[in-house]
C-alpha cells in the first residue's frame, strides 16, 4: 500500500472541473451507472434527500448484481444527518459500509480527527474529489445560507490510483474487514494520453501523518506564485505562517485575491474569518465576500499553471486535525476553467474595503478569545 506521504505524480489523466454541485451530481450519477467491478465512496456528510437518494438507488442495484460497493461516512459529521446505525441498513442491502470515527458519548481527543475527505472511485478508472458532500444544500435542492457554491474535480486515468489508495488506507484503518490492496490497485493499459500531471494527495493528523501535507501544498503555491494567486475558502482562520506568506506574496507584487462567504454557516467562525481581513488587506491582499450566499469551495489557482481542488479549509481543523484530501494539478486544461470560474464568482462578490474590515470592539474581543480555542471549534 502507498505510504501516507508518498503520493506519486501521475500523467495520462483527464481532469474535468465542476463549478457547481448540480453539475457534479449529474456527472457522478452517470459515472456510477458505468461501474463494472467496484465503487468506493468516502464522505464527511451524507444525508437522505434529493442528492443522496438517487446515488443510494444506484449503489443498491450495483450491489445486487455482484459489484463490490464500499461506503464510508464520518459518524460525527453525520450525527444529525443520518439515522443511528445507518450502516446496518446499507449492509442489509449488500453495500459494505464502515462509519469513520464512530461517535461515543465519552469525551475523546479522537473526535477532533474527523474524516473530512470526499472521494469516489469507480473501477479504478474514474475518481472524484473536492468540497462537495452528499447532502441537499450542496446541489441547492434546499436553501440553508443563500446560494451554495461548491466545486469538484473528476479524474479519469492513472491518477485515480492515488484516490483508490487513500480510500483503502481509510477503510483498512477503520474496518476489521481488510481489503487486499493489490486487487484494487491494478494498472490499466487503456488510459488516454493527456497533458500535464496530477497528484491526488491525502493529509491527516500527527503521528499518523508525519508531514503536514495540506499546509505544505498551500504554502508552496503561495511562495511559488509570480503573477497571481486566486483562492476560495469557506473559512479564513490561518496560523501566522500562512498569513505571513499571503502578505509577503502581495507585497512582492503577486495579485492575491480571496473569496469567502457573505452569508456564513457558523456566525462565530465567520467573526474569526473577518478578524483576519485587516492585516491582509493592509498588505495588498484583496478579499471578496460571495454575496449570493455561502461558498464552500476550497480552490487555489496560480499563474495559469498550478491548481488545487480538494477538501482542505484554510483553518486549524483542516490543516492540523482532520483527514483531508485534494488534487494538485500542473498543466491541466481544467486550470483555465477554474480561473474562469473564480473570475465569474468575483463578478458577483463584494470587495471588502479597509473600512469594512475594521471590527468594533465588541467584535474584536470575542474574535481574539475564540482564536485561543480554535482547536476545539
Strand order in the sheet with 255-261: 197-203, 324-330, 306-310, 299-302, 228-232, 255-261, 286-290, 349-351
Q: How many H-runs (helices) and E-runs (strands) does the chain carry?
A: 13, 17
| DSSP class of 285 | -
Q: Which of 75, 123, 136, 203 is catalytic?
A: 123
> What are 170's three cell numbers?
481509510
Which residue, among 40, 17, 5, has the nearest Cα to 119 in the 3D structure? 40
CA dist 123 → 65, 67, 157 (Å) = 15, 10, 11
Active-site residue flag, 267: no
- State whether residue 25 is helix, strand or coil: helix
Residue 49 half-sphere exposure toward CB, CA atoms < 13 A: 17
CB atoms within 10 A of CB 142: 14
Which residue, among 279, 264, 288, 286, has the nearest Cα to 346 in the 3D structure? 288
Active-site residue flag, 303: yes
Quote the CA–CA distance of 345 and 351 in Å, as a whole number.
Answer: 12
Active-site residue flag, 298: yes
Active-site residue flag, 118: yes
Active-site residue flag, 123: yes
Q: Which of 25, 56, 62, 118 is catalytic?
A: 118
First to last CA, the chain: 33
Quote the CA–CA distance of 79 and 213 in Å, as a whole number.
Answer: 28
Active-site residue flag, 332: no
327 bridge partner residues? 200, 309
Q: Which of 75, 115, 150, 303 is catalytic?
A: 303
Quote the CA–CA distance of 27 and 152 in Å, as a whole number.
Answer: 11
Q: Which of 62, 96, 262, 298 is catalytic?
A: 298
Quote the CA–CA distance of 224 and 227 in Å, as a whole number.
Answer: 9
Which residue, among 328, 117, 77, has the nearest Cα to 204 in the 3D structure? 117
> Whose grid coordinates read 469538484?
152
Known catalytic residues are 116, 118, 123, 296, 298, 303
Amino acid at each position: 500500500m502507498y505510504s501516507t506521504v508518498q503520493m506519486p505524480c501521475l500523467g495520462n489523466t483527464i481532469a474535468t472541473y465542476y463549478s457547481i454541485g448540480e453539475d457534479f451530481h449529474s456527472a457522478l450519477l452517470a459515472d456510477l451507472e458505468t461501474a463494472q467491478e467496484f465503487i468506493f465512496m468516502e464522505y464527511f456528510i451524507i444525508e437522505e434527500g434529493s442528492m443522496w437518494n438517487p446515488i443510494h438507488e444506484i449503489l443498491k442495484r450495483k450491489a445486487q448484481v455482484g459489484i463490490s460497493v464500499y461506503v464510508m461516512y464520518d459518524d460525527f459529521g453525520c450525527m444529525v444527518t443520518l439515522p443511528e446505525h445507518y450502516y446496518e441498513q446499507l449492509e442489509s442491502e449488500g453495500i459494505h459500509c464502515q462509519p469513520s470515527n464512530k461517535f461515543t458519548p465519552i469525551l475523546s481527543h479522537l473526535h477532533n480527527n474527523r474524516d473530512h475527505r470526499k472521494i469516489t472511485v469507480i473501477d479504478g478508472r474514474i475518481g472524484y474529489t473536492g468540497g462537495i458532500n452528499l447532502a441537499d444544500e450542496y446541489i441547492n435542492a434546499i436553501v440553508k445560507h443563500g446560494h451554495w457554491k461548491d466545486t469538484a474535480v473528476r479524474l479519469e486515468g492513472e491518477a485515480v490510483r492515488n484516490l483508490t489508495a487513500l480510500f483503502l488506507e481509510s477503510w483498512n484503518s477503520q474496518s476489521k474487514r481488510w481489503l487486499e490492496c493489490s486487487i484494487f490497485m491494478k494498472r490499466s493499459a487503456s488510459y488516454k494520453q493527456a497533458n500535464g500531471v496530477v497528484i491526488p494527495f491525502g493529509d491527516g493528523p500527527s503521528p499518523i501523518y508525519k508531514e503536514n501535507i495540506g499546509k505544505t501544498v498551500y504554502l508552496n503555491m503561495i511562495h511559488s506564485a509570480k503573477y497571481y494567486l486566486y483562492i476560495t475558502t469557506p473559512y479564513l482562520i490561518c496560523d501566522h505562517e500562512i498569513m505571513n506568506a499571503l502578505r509577503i506574496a502581495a507585497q512582492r507584487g503577486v495579485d492575491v485575491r480571496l473569496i469567502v462567504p457573505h452569508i456564513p454557516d457558523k456566525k462565530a467562525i465567520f467573526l474569526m474569518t473577518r478578524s483576519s481581513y485587516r492585516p491582509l488587506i493592509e498588505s495588498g491582499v484583496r478579499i471578496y465576500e460571495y454575496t449570493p450566499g455561502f461558498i464552500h469551495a476550497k480552490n487555489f489557482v496560480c499563474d495559469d499553471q498550478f491548481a488545487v481542488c480538494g477538501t482542505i479549509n484554510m483553518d486549524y481543523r483542516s490543516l492540523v486535525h482532520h483527514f483531508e484530501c485534494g488534487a494538485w494539478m500542473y498543466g491541466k486544461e481544467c486550470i483555465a476553467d477554474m480561473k474562469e470560474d473564480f473570475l465569474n464568482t468575483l463578478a458577483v462578490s463584494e470587495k471588502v474595503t479597509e473600512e469594512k474590515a475594521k471590527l468594533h470592539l465588541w467584535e474584536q474581543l470575542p474574535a481574539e478569545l475564540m482564536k485561543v480555542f480554535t482547536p476545539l471549534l
